[in-house]
Amino acid sequence: PNTIPSICGLPLKYVSLVTLAVQNALLTLIMHYSRVSAAPSHTYSAAAAVLLTELLKGSISLVVAFTRLDSYAPQYLPNGTPATNSCWNPWLLLARFRRLGKEVFRSDCWKLSIPAILYALPRAVIQNNLQFVAVSNLEAATFQVSYQMKILTTAAFSVLLLRKKLSTTKWLALLFLAIGVGVVQIQNVGHKSAESTEHDMNAFKGFMAVVAACFTSGLAGVYFEMVLKNSTGDLWVRNVQLSLFSLLPALVPIIFSGSSSTTPTSSGWFSTSLFDNFGVWAWATVLTQVLGGLLTALVIKYADNILKGFATSLSIVISFLASVALFSFPITVSFLVGSFVVLIATWLYNQPDTASSSSTTGSE
């Protein structure tokens, strides 16, 4: 299990981390553009986007899991199977389908219901928060930086549940990360002080929602890592199980919106038809989220959740630069200082440990 695959000679661990950073920045910009830039009456259904994402991610994982079964299918072949290795051999195909079914519905598949529900909660918060961003003019990059606080909750859950040991340097790096995120938050508060009290209340509610999302997101990621690393089972089969369980929370808002479809609101959850206004940008959001989900799974398997957090904070820089160009994001000193501290923290975390006590980065 410790062999790390590579792409073009580059370890999959780093390829997946960097790709995830780029994907995260892209997702923030696309979601911002697709939901905030459109008039409220023309927003697409967020529930439809979530459902499509789960269906697509699950289908892709199912196909990958199916193809990967090749290497360990023979024992599932019925007696008297013709000895041809053609992939169109119906006996082989049948054996693989049976094996896939057995793998997906194995006795411990219920474990994935926990991250499925936990992942659904921050998703709902993010959705509400982006609505809130639209109302209060908070910028996409600021929201994304606040959400990076999940790195602290992730580290805490990794220590608690996975018994990871973090060196003093690594804890210091995490502290710097929290400070960096905090500095950007100060800039945020200053930005709003000129506005109304109601506006400040919304900002506070939004911030508390992000804090709550950080807890569920951190726990969900670490729980998924625990299932992957503490039990057998192919990553792609685990992804299929996660998607299957995620379909339930994804369907809830759709079922509820069905009963209130005569009263469409601007929230996007209650549009008259599920696929109203589902244009190019909506599809771009779905596809980027599918990519993100698959990359996240790879990163959790080949690196870990703490490193994943640092990779996504790298995306702050990318989306910040893009926000300046695309949405005229104001360059403030505190944003620059905050982002700089976040980067320093990332660098510090990746310094080799002097003591041999840390097992954080797993297999290097």
Binding footprint of ligand C5P on the chain (CB under 6 A): 57, 119, 122-123, 217, 220-221, 224, 239, 242, 292-293, 296-297
Q: What distance in Å separates the CA atoms of residue 297 and residue 308, rounded to the nearest whole number?
A: 10
Q: Which is nearer to ligand C5P, 224 or 302 (CB)?
A: 224
Q: Which is nearer to ligand C5P, 61 or 167 (CB)?
A: 61
- DSSP for 9-27 reads TEEHHHHHHHHHHHHHHHH
Nearest approach in angstroms of CB 72 to ligand C5P is: 21
CB 142 within 8 A of CB 327: no
Sole residue written with tokens 């696929």: 275
Nearest approach in angstroms of CB 235 to ligand C5P is: 8
Q: How far apart are the first and last CA of the chain?
A: 13
The residues facing 11 across adjacent strands are 6
Q: At what angle do helices 46-68 and 235-259 cross, to 10 degrees?
A: 160
The token pair that represents 173 in the structure block:
């790096």
Q: Which is nearer to ligand C5P, 95 or 298 (CB)?
A: 298
Nearest approach in angstroms of CB 39 to ligand C5P is: 27
Nearest approach in angstroms of CB 343 to ligand C5P is: 19
Q: Which is nearer to ligand C5P, 206 or 292 (CB)?
A: 292
- Torsion sign over Cα 137, 138, 144, 147: negative
Ranked by CB distance to ligand C5P, the top (closest) residue is: 293
Q: Which is nearer to ligand C5P, 119 or 269 (CB)?
A: 119
The token pair that represents 246 in the structure block:
């995620």
- DSSP for 162-186 reads S-----HHHHHHHHHHHHHHHHHHH
The identity of residue 32, as a single letter, is: H
Nearest approach in angstroms of CB 331 to ligand C5P is: 26
Nearest approach in angstroms of CB 289 to ligand C5P is: 7
Nearest approach in angstroms of CB 256 to ligand C5P is: 20
| Measured CA angle at 54 (ends 48, 56), to 5 deg | 100
Look at residues 25, 252, 243 and name the one whose alpha carbon lies nearest to residue 124: 252
